[in-house]
Amino acid sequence: MSPNALIPSHRKPRRSASSRALRAGVTGGFLTLAVTGATVPANATAKPVSETQELPTITEALATTAAKSADTTQLVAVSYERQGLQDSALARAAKVAEKKQAAAEKKAEAKKRAEEARKAEEAAEARASRSTERTTLSAPSHSTASGSVATLVSFLKAQLGKAYVMGSTGPSAYDCSGLTQAAFSQIGIDLPRVSQDQSTTGTQVGLDNLQVGDILYWGSAGSAYHVGVYVGDGNFIGAQNSSTGIVERPLSYDQPTGAVRVL
């Protein structure tokens, strides 16, 4: 100790409590506080000039971990939000797709039904057309004949009044089988030349079930001596004989023996 230390004028003035110096440092992960120059009462227990207090502190690694944890939480939240939006969009897209598929299936079903209806209508028209061709024709003013049957009947009526000449096949004169052969050739059907052979051509039909265009014959099938064509309304057209020529007569005028159908 210096000899002058006991002289009051040479002593350093005491620092007040407000002039305490605070020193801080980090040691081993703890915050170290150093308090110096504090005024101590005379009757107080003596304390060290320096006092230290260690407090927990956040290291750089801990701060980095906390930051990463916050970032991760935010990323997870964003991921969940994005997933929710995607699920919602997918649900809406699925509903739209279901509606479109239902509409497409309905349209396809309607198209299929329309196609089936069209085919059925075409089939019905084809049957009706064949039936019409075979239907008994009314008088000229009520005629509904069409197609090949109408062509056949029209040709036969155009020959009315022409002469009957044995062995003739037209165009100005015919015998009975020559007339039927010429008439059916107008619609693309080739008949045998003579009555005997024409009476066995096609399908045999009963006289109570005649249709326009059926070939009538007199005598027995295979040995018929005369032929004509049924034209409807109970009438037939034929080259009868040299006296009458080609005429249209009712069946009662000369009842045929049988009939064949080639249409």
Looking up residue 175, the CATH number of its domain turns out to be 3.90.1720.10
- Per-residue pLDDT averaged across 153-176, rounded? 97
16 is a domain residue:
no
Q: Are residues 126 and 157 in the same domain?
A: no
Within 10 angstroms of residue 218's Cβ, the number of other Cβ atoms is: 18
Indicate the Cα dihedral angle 249, 251, 254, 256, nearest 10°: 130
Question: What proportion of the chain, given as a percentage, has pLDDT over 70?
Answer: 68
Q: Is the pLDDT of residue 139 over 80?
A: no
Asked if residue 181 and residue 125 are part of one domain, the reply reads: no
- DSSP code for 2: -
- For residues 90 and 154, state if they share a domain: no
Same domain, 164 and 254: yes
What is the predicted pLDDT for the residue at 47? 52
Could you tell me which residue, 22 or 159, shows the higher pLDDT?
Answer: 159
Render pLDDT for 218-233 as a digit per residue (tens, 0 to 9).
Answer: 999 999 999 999 999 9
Domain identity same for 129 and 152 = no
Could you tell me if 152 and 186 are in contact, meaning their C-beta atoms sit under 8 angstroms apart? Answer: yes
Residue 162: pLDDT band with limits 50, 70, 90? very high
Q: Which residue has the higher pLDDT, 94 or 39?
A: 94
Per the domain annotation, does 6 fall within a domain?
no
Same domain, 72 and 120: yes
Amino acid symbol at 152: L
Is 185 within a domain? yes
Same domain, 182 and 248: yes
Which residue range is the domain that position 85 belongs to?
57-134
Q: Are residues 100 and 165 in the same domain?
A: no
**Structure tokens that stand for 35 in this block:** 């308090």
Count, residues in the chain: 263
Q: Is 3 within the bounds of a domain?
A: no
The helix or strand, by DSSP H or E, that contains position 227, with its residue range, turns out to be strand 226-232
d(CA 234, CA 249): 9
Residue 82 lies in a domain: yes
Higher-scoring residue by pLDDT: 79, 255: 255
Domain endpoint, select from 110, 134, 158: 134
Q: Tell me: do 239 and 197 sit in the same domain.
A: yes
User: Rounded distance, CA 231 to CA 181, Å?
Assistant: 15
Q: Are residues 91 and 154 in the same domain?
A: no
In this prediction, residue 92 carries a pLDDT of 87
The number of distinct structural domains making up the chain is 2
What is the mean pLDDT of the segment spanning 15-37? Answer: 46
- Looking at per-residue confidence, does 11 or 196 come out higher? 196
Q: Say if 65 falls within a structural domain.
A: yes
Q: At residue 126, does pLDDT exceed 70?
A: yes
- Please tell me whether residues 152 and 240 are part of one structural domain: yes
**Average pLDDT of the chain to the nearest whole number:** 78
Same domain assignment for residues 257 and 205: yes
Domain end, chosen from 134, 169, 187, is at: 134
Residue 263 scores a pLDDT above 50? yes
- 189, 150, 178: which is closest to 238 by C-alpha? 178
Please indicate, yes or no, if residue 14 is contained in any of the structural domains: no
Q: With respect to residue 10, please indicate whether it lies within any of the assigned structural domains.
A: no
Domain boundary (134, 156, 181) is at 134
